[in-house]
Amino acid sequence: MENNIELKNVSKKYKGFELKDISFNVPQGCIVGLIGENGAGKTTTIKSILNITNSTGNIKVFGKELTKKEKEIKEEIGLVLDDSFLSEYLNVKQVNSIMKEIYKKWDENKYISLLKQFDLPTNKLIKEFSSGMKMKLKIATAISHNPKLLILDEPTSGLDPVVRNEILDIFRKYIEEDETRSILLSTHITTDLEHISDYIVFIENGKVIFDLPTDELLESYGIIKCSKEDFLRLDEKDYISYKKGKYQYEVLTNNKNNIKIKYNITTIDKPSIEEIMLFYIKGEK
């Protein structure tokens, strides 16, 4: 399987923060979820991929170094970033006119079709749009030049569940239309990733904590609920972190089948991605 993005030992140092040896891939035909706390390094990673931030290490997009083929590569990337959009004093028709000049492969028919699908008004200024409407417009704009790669930073943040589901469906269809496409999706809303992602990359304090297929993550990890006596029986190598409750211990493991066999403990819940992340960040070691 070929990769649309490859990062190897990517690092960047700021005052008070360091991105340290970030390595992961975004394979063709896949949606990769990038998770972590605010300030963990997700946005710095995305800006490094786009050559907005000058980082060290090796980054390839479509097998090429972005620094050498930047214009050619960015023609094939659709972006949704917090700080990347046009003036709010435009309407969607004016956006279309501008994008036609920027992208060689701009598909006006696709753009108009997405505007209708998203029920976006053509006569209102963008500044009159709700946050959900603005995000739909950003996504329509990102997709309408038929890029091979979508890079999305918090594309569903602040949106209601109905709008979020609508947007996730758009992402699924985008991948299904062409198996050489990929999406890198950074989000705080980890429940979205359980339904849509193929891989999860978790960054904490500037480091990759894990890079795993979503199915494997949700199947192999478990939250053990046990007494203090059972907790004290556990070898530290068999769990990642724990939380001490009033009546029981909750313990995160990345090999729940081993726990069942080795300790004969059967009360193990299937965790959500958010619970796994919180155990790594907040749990005791």
Q: What is the pLDDT of residues 94-122, one digit of tens each?
A: 999 999 998 999 999 999 999 998 899 98
The pTM (predicted TM-score) of the whole model is 0.92
Q: Percent of the chain having pLDDT more than 70?
A: 99
Comparison of pLDDT for 166 and 59, the residue scoring more = 59
Mean pLDDT of the chain: 91
CATH number of 3-216: 3.40.50.300
pLDDT at position 81 is 84
Comparison of pLDDT for 222 and 134, the residue scoring more = 222
CA–CA distances in Å: residue 145 to residues 6, 142, 164: 23, 7, 22
Contact 96, 90 (CB under 8 A): no
pLDDT at position 189 is 83
Span 227-241, pLDDT tens digits: 999 999 999 999 999
> For 152-167, what is the mean pLDDT?
84
Nearest to 257 by CA among 248, 272, 247, 270: 270
CA distance 90 to 95: 7
pLDDT at position 65 is 87
CA distance 221 to 23: 22
pLDDT at position 192 is 85
Helices (H), ranges, 154-227: 161-177, 190-196, 214-220
pLDDT score of 157 more than 90: no
- As annotated, the residues of the chain forming the CATH 3.40.50.300 domain(s) are 3-216
Which residues have CB under 8 Å from 268's CB, separation 6+? Answer: 222, 223, 224, 225, 253, 256, 259, 260
pLDDT at position 84 is 61
